[in-house]
Amino acid sequence: MTANDAATASPGPISDAPLLELVHATKSFGAVKALEDGSVRLHAGEAHALVGENGAGKSTLVKILAGVHHPDSGELLIGGVRTTLNGPAASRAAGVSIIYQEPTLFPDLSIAENIFVGRQILGRGRQIDRAAMRRRADAAFARLGVALDPNRLARGLSVADQQIVEIAKAISFNARVIVMDEPTAALSSVEVDRLFAVVRALRADNTAVLFISHRLEEVFAICQRVTIMRDGRFVRTAPIEDLTIDGIIRSMVGRDLDTLFPKTETAPGAEVLDVSRLTREGVFTDVSFKVRRGEIVGLSGLVGAGRSEVARAIFGIDRYDAGTVTMGGKVLPNGSPLAAMGAGVAFVPEDRRLQGLVMEMAIDHNIALASLGRLERHGLISRKRERDLAADWAVKLRLKFGRLKNPVSTLSGGNQQKVVLSKWLARNPTLLIVDEPTRGIDVGTKAEVHRLLDQLVSQGVAVLMISSELPEILGMADRILVLREGRLVAEMPREAATEASIMRAATGQSVGSAA
Amino acid sequence: MTSTTAPALNRISRTGSLLRARELGIAIVIVIVFGLTTVHNHSFASEHSVQQLLAGAALVALLGVGETMVIVTRNVDLSVGSVLGLSAYLVGDLFVHNPHMPAILGFVVGTAIGAGIGAINGLITTVTRVPSLVVTLAALYIVRGVDAIIVNGKQTDPASIPRSFQAVGYETILGIPWLAIVVAVVIGIAGYAMRSFRSSRDLYAIGSNPDAAALAGLPVGRRVFTAFVVSGALAGLGGALFLAQFATINATGGTGYELLVISAVVVGGVAIFGGSGTVLGAALGALLLNTINQALVASRISSFWNQAIAGALLLGAIAFDRWLGLRVSRRLQSAKGERHVV
C-alpha cells in the first residue's frame, strides 16, 4: 500500500474474526497474583482501549503480549492460531509491537538505523544499504503523516518523536497489532493530536491498536471498543457507544475496602506544614495545602500527576520556581533537604532500592544513616550507639533479619521498607512524608506498615502519604488531596471520599457529569 | 508544524555532520602543527622526518583500531600493551629456534597469540559480567608477568630475526614505510567494515544503549567477544611489527602502550562511554599525538612538555565533545519550544 492510499482511505469496518485473542490469562509473581483473568480481543482496524486503575493488571497483560512474561495459564490466539511467545523477538515475529511510554532508542544511531537495528537492509555483498533504509523509513513516516529526517541522530528526540520512531519500526515489522502503553502521558496536546492522526492512519491500514490510557476523554476520542479491568480481572468489553465515562469509572473501581487498614480516629492538632502556591514550571502549578499534627493527608492522583514531585520539592530535593513551604511557622529555604530535616521533616521515597537505601551496606548502618550527628562522640561515630539505635528500632518495627551486620539487600522488600522507615523515625520527625509506602510488599507487612503509621499519628506526628492504591488512601487518610496534571483539583474529607469520586477528580471528570 | 521544524532540523543535521567531520578537524590540526614546526625547523618536512612521523604513529594507530571497536561497545581493553610485548618476544623466540621459518608466519603467529588472549578477555567479560576495565587490567599484569617469566632477563638476538621480516619494520616503498602501509590497509578494511556490516553496526548499538540492544535481540555477548578478539589480534600483530621494527626485545616491550592507545582513540573522537567514533578518527588521533611529540623534539622544546601537552589535548577533546553535545541538546530544546508555540 502506498502513502497516498493510506492518507485517503477511511477506517474500514471492524472485521469479525479477531486478530489477537488473549483468553483467561493468569500470571503470578511469587505469592502476588498480578493477573487472574486477562482477556482481550482485538480486531483489525480498531483502536481498542484497555482501562483500569493502577495495579489492575494492564501492564502485566501488555508484558504477556510483548513476550516478556509467560502466562501461567490461559491461551493466546493470533490470527486464530494458538501461539506461545518466547521473548520479545517471538512477539514481534508474530506481528505484535509494543510502544512504551518512554521508548528506548539508540541515541548515537540515526533514526533510520534505529528503525532497522539488527535487521538492516542489505545490498550487494551483505553490505548495509543506507539509501534503501532511508527510503523505507521515509515511506513509513509518510504513511504516518509525520515529518522526521531519517538521517538525524536519535539523540535529543522528544518523547513524542521517539514514539513515532517506534511506531515506524512497528510498521517496518509489518505489525498487525500495535500496543501503546500510556503513550500520551508525557505528551503535549499538539503531540497527542499528532499521535491520534497516526493511530487513525494505522487503523486505515487494518492494524489493530490496543490503546492504554488513564485519560478517559482520549479513550472516547480515538477508540471504538473498551475493555475494562479491575484487580487483575477482566470486567467487560463494550463498544464505546454503549459506555459513559461514569460507567467506565464505576466498573473500574467497584469493590469493597478490605480490612487491611487499622484506623484510629484522632483529633488533628496544630498545623505543622503549610504549602502555599507551590509551582515548578511544567511539573506542578499553584499547589496549596496544610497538614496538621495527628492526621494523615493522602495525596492521590494518577501516575505522573506530579505527586512525588510535590513531595520532593517540599523536602528540598528538587527546587521550585514559586511559592513557599512553611514548617512549624518557619519558611523553609528552597532546595535544601538539610534545612527540611532540621525542621523535622522525614521523607521515605518512592523507590527504596534507588533512593531509600544503600543496598550493599549493613542494616544497622542504613538505620543510623540519617542520625549520625546524634551518634557522634568527639567527632567520631560511636559504633556502640549506632548498634543500640539500630537494635532498638529493629525491635520496635518487628524487623525480620539475620544479623544487623548483614547487607540490607538480604532482606525482603517489606523489611527493607521497615529499615527505611526506621532510618527516618529515628530522627523523631514532626512531619513524615511517605511515597508509596507499601508498594511491592506482601500483605502482612503492608498491614504492619499501616499500623505503624496509625500509631505515629496517634502520637502526634503529621503524615503526608502518597499512594497509587485507592483502598490505601481511603483506608488510611483523614483528608485526601487529588492532583491532576500538576494541579490540586480536589480536597475531600475521609467521609466524603469514594474510589469513584477520587478517580473522577484524578481523570478530570467533574462530579457534575456523574449520571 | 513542518514549516517551523524544518529549519531547526536542518541546523541540527548540520551540527551532526560537523560531529562526523571530527576526522577532518584532527587532520587540519595535524597540518597546522606540521606547518608551524616546519617554519621553525625546515628539516621537519624532510622525507626522513615524515617517514618517522608515520612509522612512529603506526603501531598506536593499529592498536587503536581494535581499541575503538572495544570502546564503542562501552568496554575497554587495557591489556593491549602487554599483549604486544608478549607477542613480540614469542615471535622473536620462534625465529631464534626456527631460523628458516617464512617471515609471513611470524605475523600470523603474532596475530594468533593476540587473538587467543583477546578471546580469554572477551570470554571472561561476557560470561562473568565482570567489568572489562577490571578483566583487562588483570590481563595487563598477568600477561606482563608471564612475559617476564618467559623472557627471564634475556632478549632476542637481532641476528636471528630474518632480514625479510625486519624489512617490514624499517624499509619503505615509494618513500612510504611498509609499517604505515600495513596499518593503513588494516584501517581501511576495519573502517569500511565498521560502516557497512550489520555485525559492526551492532557494536555501536550495544555501546549506545546496552539494555535496548538486548531487547532488540542483538547478540550482545557474541559481538562484544568478537570486539575483544579483534583488539587482541591487532595487538598481537602489533607485537610482530614491533619485533620487525626493533629486533631487540626484552620483557618491557610495549609497556604503557595501552594508555597511549586510549589517548589516541579519545582524541580521535571515540566516545569513552561507547556508541560513537570511527577507526579513522582513532588513527588520526594517534598521528596527531605523534606529530606533536616529534614537533616538540624538532623545536627543541623539552620533551618533559610532551606528556603535559598530550594530557591537555585529551582534556580539550573531551571538553569539546561535551560542549558540542550540550549545544546540540540546547538546539533541540529550542526547536521543540518553537513547535509547541505553533
**Three-state SS for A281?**
coil
Q: How many helices (H) and strands (E) does chain A have?
A: 18, 22
How far apart (Å, rounded) are the C-alpha atoms in residues A27 and A337? 41
pLDDT for residue A4: 41
**Which pLDDT does position A469 carry in this prediction?**
80
Question: Is A109 in contact with B201 (Cβ distance < 8 A)?
Answer: yes
In a domain, A71, yes or no: yes
Q: Is B28 exposed, middle or buried (0-12, 13-18, 19+ CB in 10 A)?
A: exposed
pLDDT of residue B328: 63
**Distance between CA atoms of residues B28 and B17, nearest Å:** 16
Query: What pLDDT, on a 0 to 100 scale, did the predictor assign at position A277?
Result: 93
Collapse the DSSP code of A487 into the 3-class scheme (helix H, G, I; strand E, B; otherwise coil) and give the result: strand
Q: How far B278 CA sits from the closest chain A CA (Å)?
A: 12
Beta-carbon contacts of A394 under 8 Å, excluding residues fewer than 6 positions away, are A363, A367, A401, A404, A422
Helix (H) or strand (E) holding A237: strand A233-239
CATH number at residue A16: 3.40.50.300
Residue A513 in domain? no
Indicate whether A162 and A277 sit together in one domain.
Answer: no
Closest Cα in chain A, distance from residue B192 (Å): 10
Contacts of A422 (CB under 8 A, 6+ apart): A367, A390, A393, A394, A396, A397, A399
Residues A195-223: pLDDT tens digits? 999 999 999 989 999 999 877 888 999 99
Answer whether residue A11 shows pLDDT above 50: no
Residues A185 and A44 in one domain: yes
Residues A368, A323, single domain; the answer is: no
Do the beta carbons of residue B58 and residue B237 sit within 8 Å? no
Residues A326 and A442 in one domain: yes
For chain B, list residues with pLDDT below 50.
Answer: 1-16, 18-19, 335-342
Which residue matches cell numbers 495525596? A299
Which of A368, A396, A428 delimits the end of a domain? A428
Number of domains in chain B: 1
Average pLDDT, chain A: 85
Lowest mean pLDDT among A25-34, A452-461, B148-157, B245-254: A25-34
Listed residues A428, A453, A478: the one ending a domain: A428
Give the lowest-confidence range in A72-81, A181-190, B150-159. A181-190
Task: Work out how many domains chain A is built from and give that number.
Answer: 3
CB distance B213–A106 less than 8 Å?
yes
Q: Within a domain: residue A444?
A: yes
User: What confidence score (pLDDT) does residue A260 get?
Assistant: 59
pLDDT of A123 > 50? The answer is yes
Q: How confident is the model at residue A54 (pLDDT cuts 50, 70, 90)?
A: low
**pLDDT recorded at residue B13:** 45
Q: Which of A87, A106, A126 faces B208 most closely, judged by CB atoms?
A: A106
Residues A318 and A455 in one domain: yes
Do both A99 and A161 map to the same domain? yes
The answer on A245 and A130 residing in a single domain is: yes
Residues A268, A275: Cα–Cα separation, whole Å: 17
Residues of chain A contacting B274 with CB distance shorter than 8 Å: 108
Which of A445, A477, A440, A442 minimizes the C-alpha distance to A462? A477
Instruction: Name, in order, each residue with C-beta under 8 angstroms of A476's C-beta and a sequence gap of 6 or more.
Output: A261, A263, A296, A298, A450, A453, A454, A465, A467
Same domain, A174 and A31: yes
For residue B5, the model assigns a pLDDT of 37
Asked whether A29 and A55 are in contact (CB, 8 A), the reply is no
- A128 closest CB neighbour out of B201, B213, B329: B201
Give the residue on B whose Cα is nearest the Cα of A92: B216
A482 part of a folded domain:
yes
Model confidence band, residue A31 (pLDDT cutoffs 50, 70, 90): low
Q: Are residues A154 and A246 in the same domain?
A: yes
Does residue A393 lie in a domain region?
yes
Query: By the CB < 8 Å criterion, does B306 face chain A?
Result: no
Closest CA of chain B from A212, distance in Å: 22
B198/A120 CB distance under 8 A: yes
In a domain, A515, yes or no: no
Q: How far apart are CA B328 and CA B231, in angstroms?
A: 32
Higher pLDDT, B12 or A24: A24
Q: Tell me, what's the pLDDT at B305?
A: 80
- Out of A119, A151, A156, closest to residue B329 by CB: A156
Cβ–Cβ of B198/A89 closer than 8 Å? no
Classified as helix, coil or strand, A165 is helix
Residue range of the domain that includes A43: 3-253
User: Which cell goes with B41?
Assistant: 625547523
The percent of residues in chain A predicted with pLDDT above 90, rounded, is 36
Same domain for A485 and A443, yes or no, is: yes
Residue A395 maps to a domain = yes
Closest Cα to residue A45, out of A247, A277, A209, A278?
A209
Residue of B nearest to A130 (CA): B196
What are the φ/ψ torsions at residue A421 (nearest 5 degrees)?
A: -60, -45
Which of A343, A187, A378, A348 lies closest to A272, judged by CA?
A343
pLDDT tens readout for residues A139-184 = 989 888 888 899 988 888 888 888 889 889 988 888 899 999 888 8
pLDDT-based confidence at A462, cuts 50/70/90? very high
Asked if residue A193 and residue A274 are part of one domain, the reply reads: no
The confidence band for A442, taking pLDDT boundaries of 50, 70 and 90, is low
A55 confidence band (pLDDT: 50, 70, 90): low
Q: For residue A243, is pLDDT > 80? A: yes
Reply yes or no on whether the pLDDT at A2 is more than 50.
no
Whether the predicted pLDDT of A58 surpasses 80: yes
* Domain CATH number, residue B198: 1.10.3470
Same domain, A112 and A152: yes
Contact criterion met (CB below 8 Å) for A350 and A469:
no
- Per-residue pLDDT reduced to its tens digit, A402-430: 888 888 888 877 788 899 999 999 989 99
Predicted confidence at residue B190, as pLDDT, reads: 95
Query: Pick from A428, A457, A476: which residue ends a domain?
Result: A428
Whether ipTM > 0.85 holds is: no
8 A C-beta contact, residue A104 and residue A159 = no
Measured between beta carbons, the chain A residues lying within 8 angstroms of B205 are 106, 109, 113, 117-118
Please give the residue of chain A at the shortest CA–CA distance from B72: A108
